[in-house]
């Protein structure tokens, strides 16, 4: 009886239910695993977690949709690249305009290579496939674009909220919204995967540990640079939401 009901549910709904099942191991992980590991062990478990997310998302998604429908295409890739680079440049300006009170970490070339592979090949692919690929596809088919944009953004926020705390979670709601708008306007996630990896990797290089217990009082050294960076970040979603469709209708196809 239960299987019969399951078969008669829309594929978008069953995909969302299976995504819920995919996250069940997160409950004991947050309660027991993450608080009790550190160093190399934590790094390895994080890598395995993203492999699990990538494989699970592919299994759930490809049973219902074509790769193109999940965002694996070249549609609007320049939309992602150009708006994404505006965000990267904007956030870089914000970071360098502030004296954080703590020097950024130093890494060996081998560690940098490992971190680059981690952020571009695991974090970028895993989170974009999960949120702007599978979750976005299921929600847009079930309830429409507005639900897909806000639902994938909230899911992205919760992913970071439980893992990195409320401050990071709040920031990731904004980034999730920007990424969802990029997914909407571009029509694919390949450009997003690269931009996502670049944003995370560049922050790793430039930012110190921003934990509440270790963060000193930041000092704004270059206010104009900070303002310019914030304008670029804020302009990106406004461009995607309002300006891009106007330019497209007017025959401007640069992005």
pLDDT band for position 108 (50/70/90)? confident
Establish if 172 belongs to a structural domain: yes
pTM of the model: 0.89
Establish if 201 belongs to a structural domain: yes
Q: d(Cα 134, Cα 142) in Å, to the nearest integer? A: 12
Establish if 159 belongs to a structural domain: yes
pLDDT digits (tens, 9 = 90+) for 53-99: 999 999 999 999 999 999 999 888 988 898 999 999 999 999 889 88
| DSSP classification of residue 132 | I
Residue 159 Cα to chain centre, angstroms? 10
First to last CA, the chain: 50
Establish if 251 belongs to a structural domain: no
Q: d(Cα 112, Cα 116) in Å, to the nearest integer? A: 6
Q: Would you tell me how many other CB atoms lie within 10 Å of the CB of residue 38? A: 9
**Average pLDDT, stretch 175-181?**
93
Domains held by the chain: number: 1
Which token pair is 121? 């090949």
Instruction: Output phi, psi for 66, to 5 deg.
Output: -75, 155
Residue 9: give the domain boundaries.
Answer: 2-245
Establish if 253 belongs to a structural domain: no
Q: Which has the minimum average pLDDT: 1-15, 32-46, 200-214?
A: 200-214
């Amino acid at each position: 009886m239960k299987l019969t009901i399951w078969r008669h549910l829309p594929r978008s709904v069953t995909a969302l239910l299976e995504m819920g099942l995919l996250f069940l191991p997160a409950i004991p992980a947050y309660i027991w695993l993450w608080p009790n590991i550190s160093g190399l062990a934590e790094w390895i478990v994080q890598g395995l977690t993203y492999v699990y997310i990538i494989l699970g998302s592919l299994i759930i998604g490809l049973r219902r949709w074509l790769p193109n429908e999940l965002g694996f295409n070249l549609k609007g890739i320049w939309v992602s690249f150009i708006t994404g680079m505006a965000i990267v440049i904007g956030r870089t300006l914000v970071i360098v305009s502030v004296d954080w009170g703590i020097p950024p970490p130093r890494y060996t070339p081998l560690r940098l290579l490992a971190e680059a592979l981690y952020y571009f090949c695991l974090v970028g692919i895993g989170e974009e496939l999960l949120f702007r690929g599978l979750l976005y596809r299921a929600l847009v088919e079930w309830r429409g674009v507005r639900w897909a944009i806000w639902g994938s953004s909230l899911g992205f926020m919760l992913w970071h909220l439980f893992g990195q705390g409320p401050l990071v979670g709040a920031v990731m709601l904004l980034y999730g919204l920007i990424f969802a708008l990029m997914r909407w306007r571009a029509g694919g996630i390949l450009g997003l995967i690269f931009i996502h990896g670049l944003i995370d990797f560049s922050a790793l290089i430039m930012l110190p540990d921003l934990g509440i217990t270790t963060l000193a009082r930041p000092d704004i050294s270059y206010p104009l640079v900070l303002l310019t960076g914030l304008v670029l970040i804020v302009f990106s979603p406004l461009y995607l939401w309002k300006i891009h469709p106007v330019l497209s209708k007017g025959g401007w196809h640069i992005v």
